Amino acid sequence: MYRDPKFSSLFNQFGRGDGAPPSLLQKIVTVLVTIAVFGVALMFSVVLFAVVVTVGAVAWGYLWWKTRALRKQMREHPPTGRGMVIEGEVIREVEIEDRPPR
């Protein structure tokens, strides 16, 4: 990988560690920051869930309201059953005639 000489000090800074273990204060701050980040993520996920549920309920209510006339019409005029509808598959055997090639 090509490294630009202008940024080589940046790579060296991150690559080099003094090897000293973190102090007790650093560990406590790390735990507190982790708990805070988890809390914020949980808060946003709950808000997102509430928004999704609300939008879904509004969409369902809108469709229910817009189809009420169609449902009323279907209740007042049910299908008459004049024709017969059979659902299923049809398997048909086809006979192939042996014709001489032309």
At 95 the three-state DSSP class reads coil
Tell me the percentage of the chain whose pLDDT exceeds 70.
Answer: 83
> Could you tell me if residue 100 is inside a domain?
no
Q: How much is the pLDDT for 21?
A: 84
- With contact defined as beta carbons under 8 Å apart, do 3 and 11 qualify? yes
Total domains present in the chain: 1
Question: Structural domain of residue 44, as residue ranges?
Answer: 24-76
5 within some domain: no
On the CB side of 38, CA atoms within 13 Å amount to 6
Per-residue pLDDT of 7-22, as tens digits, reads 777 767 666 566 678 8
Q: What is the mean pLDDT of the chain?
A: 85
**pTM metric for this prediction:** 0.51
> Is 54 a member of any domain?
yes
Q: Return d(Cα 64, Cα 38) in angstroms, integer.
A: 39
Is position 66 within any domain? yes
CA-derived radius of gyration, the chain:
36
Give me the mean pLDDT over the 38-66 stretch: 97
What average pLDDT does the segment 31-50 reach? 97
